[in-house]
């Protein structure tokens, strides 16, 4: 009977999975960058592409530190996330909404990577693979920073622009006389007190 696999075996297996995931992301990130309208978002994807190429190299160093051959194994998880991102890019959204959706797609990938690297850092430490752990931690920090950058772009304007693009087109198509039944007319909506009051309600 074959010997039971060890945590070390599982670790190497996960490294191969992640190596393939990073390679898939080096092909997907240029597409996200190309689809982005906001220049800061495009730049964020492009600079994370550069970092992602570094993640591939760093994983090669990790394999080397463990005297393991560099090998990838198809990562179904990231392939699914990338596929969903591709589907979104085929939708007919306004530019701001598309940017918001691209951020959502990018953050799904970052969170997948953060989960994977977080586990591998902890496993490497538990097994005393300190050099591997330090290398993996460096990448984990970059994934977290990329995720935070995307959050700051979303919360710093992209989401609101997308929300406003939608409400503007709704207001245009709506008969003004009907508006008071549902909400105050645009003039009184401009008053901070009224806005605050509704938000608190």
Per CB under 5 A, does 20 bind Fe ion?
no
CB-nearer residue toward Fe ion: 56 or 98: 56
The least distance separating Fe ion from the CB of residue 135, rounded to whole angstroms, comes to 12
CB-nearer residue toward Fe ion: 57 or 168: 57
Q: Is the separation of the CB atoms in 24 and 75 below 8 Å?
A: yes
CB-nearer residue toward Fe ion: 89 or 179: 89
CB-nearer residue toward Fe ion: 6 or 151: 151
The least distance separating Fe ion from the CB of residue 110, rounded to whole angstroms, comes to 5
Per CB under 5 A, does 149 bind Fe ion?
no
Q: Is the separation of the CB atoms in 99 and 158 below 8 Å?
A: yes
Integer angstrom CA distances of residue 32 from 26, 71, 75, 86, 154: 11, 26, 19, 9, 15
Distance separating alpha carbons of residues 25 and 49, to the nearest angstrom: 8
Per CB under 5 A, does 113 bind Fe ion?
yes
Per CB under 5 A, does 17 bind Fe ion?
no
DSSP percent split of the chain into helix, strand, coil, nearest 5: 85, 0, 15
| Site size toward Fe ion, by CB under 5 A | 5
Which of these segments, 16-24, 167-175, 178-186, 188-196, binds Fe ion (CB under 5 A)? Answer: 16-24
Burial class, 146, CB count within 10 angstroms (exposed 0-12 / middle 13-18 / buried 19+): buried
Per CB under 5 A, does 55 bind Fe ion?
yes
Which of these segments, 61-69, 76-84, 91-99, 110-118, binds Fe ion (CB under 5 A)? Answer: 110-118
The count of C-alpha atoms lying within 13 angstroms of the C-alpha of 200, restricted to the half-sphere facing its C-beta, is 6
Q: Is the separation of the CB atoms in 99 and 38 below 8 Å?
A: yes
CB-nearer residue toward Fe ion: 96 or 154: 154
Residues 31-50 vs Fe ion: string with x where CB under 5 A?
--------------------
Integer angstrom CA distances of residue 27 from 22, 82, 146, 150: 9, 10, 17, 19
Candidate residues 143, 149, 158, 162; the one interacting with Fe ion per rule CB under 5 A: 143
Residues lying near Fe ion in the complex (CB under 5 A) are found at 22, 52, 55, 113, 143
């Amino acid at each position: 009977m074959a010997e039971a696999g060890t945590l070390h075996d599982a670790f190497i297996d996960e490294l191969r999975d992640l190596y393939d995931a990073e390679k898939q992301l080096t092909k997907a990130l240029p597409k996200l960058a190309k689809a982005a309208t906001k220049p800061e978002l495009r730049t964020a994807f492009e600079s994370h592409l550069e970092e992602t190429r570094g993640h591939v190299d760093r994983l090669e160093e990790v394999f080397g530190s463990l005297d393991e051959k560099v090998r990838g194994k198809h990562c179904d998880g990231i392939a699914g996330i990338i596929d969903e991102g591709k589907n979104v890019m085929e939708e007919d959204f306004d530019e701001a909404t598309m940017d918001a959706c691209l951020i959502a797609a990018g953050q799904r990938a970052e969170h997948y990577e953060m989960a994977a690297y977080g586990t591998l850092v902890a496993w490497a430490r538990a097994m005393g693979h300190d050099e591997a752990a330090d290398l993996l931690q460096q990448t984990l920090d970059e994934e977290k920073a990329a995720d935070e950058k995307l959050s700051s772009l979303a919360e710093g304007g992209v989401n609101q622009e997308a929300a406003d693009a939608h409400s503007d087109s709704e207001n245009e198509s709506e008969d003004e006389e009907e508006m008071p039944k549902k909400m105050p007319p645009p003039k009184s909506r401009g008053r901070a007190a009224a806005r605050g009051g509704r938000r608190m309600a």
